[in-house]
């Protein structure tokens, strides 16, 4: 089941034309990602400061379908997918409250050892998070 995150577009999210600046859509998607981690019981401070592993984004893309303006209420649906023992991706769909699709985004993440930078298996808490928010039980 996808995770949903509701947010209001702020003035700081917009550019000189008054619409959401392209890079800020990914920042909002990352907010949704962080909130989904919290809802799965993951401590963000520990997760992002872990010395054992890092899970960087190695690919990101966004398709813009309709402009977003300051004051707009949006809902971001996040659907993570297990890819391999050390990789997952997240599909995001950004909707207006009237259910109009505004944007689609994707981030791909790889788990690495923080010191050697070599690939490492996803930790159990991320596997559990994938189970919490994925459509299918793809990791078993």
Q: Which residues are catalytic?
A: 15
For residues 80 and 1, give the distance between their C-alpha atoms in angstroms, rounded to a whole number. Answer: 10
CB 78 within 8 A of CB 68: no
Largest CA distance in the chain: 48
Listed in sequence order, the residues at least 6 apart from 8 whose beta carbon sits closer than 8 Å to its beta carbon are: 71, 72, 73, 74
For residues 3 and 11, give the distance between their C-alpha atoms in angstroms, rounded to a whole number. Answer: 25
For residues 62 and 52, give the distance between their C-alpha atoms in angstroms, rounded to a whole number. Answer: 30
């Amino acid at each position: 089941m996808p995770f949903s995150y509701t947010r209001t577009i702020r003035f700081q999210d917009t550019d000189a034309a008054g619409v959401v600046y392209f890079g800020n859509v990914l920042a909002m998607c990352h907010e949704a990602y962080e909130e989904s981690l919290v809802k799965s019981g993951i401590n963000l401070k520990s997760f992002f400061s872990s010395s054992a592993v890092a899970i960087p984004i190695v690919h990101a893309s966004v398709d813009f379908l309709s402009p977003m303006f300051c004051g707009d209420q949006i809902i971001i649906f996040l659907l993570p997918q297990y890819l391999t023992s050390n990789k997952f991706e997240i599909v995001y769909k950004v909707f207006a409250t009237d259910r109009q699709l505004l944007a689609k985004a994707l981030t791909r993440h790889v788990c690495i050892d923080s010191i050697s930078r070599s690939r490492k298996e996803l930790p159990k808490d991320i596997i559990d998070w994938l189970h919490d928010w994925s459509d299918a039980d793809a990791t078993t």
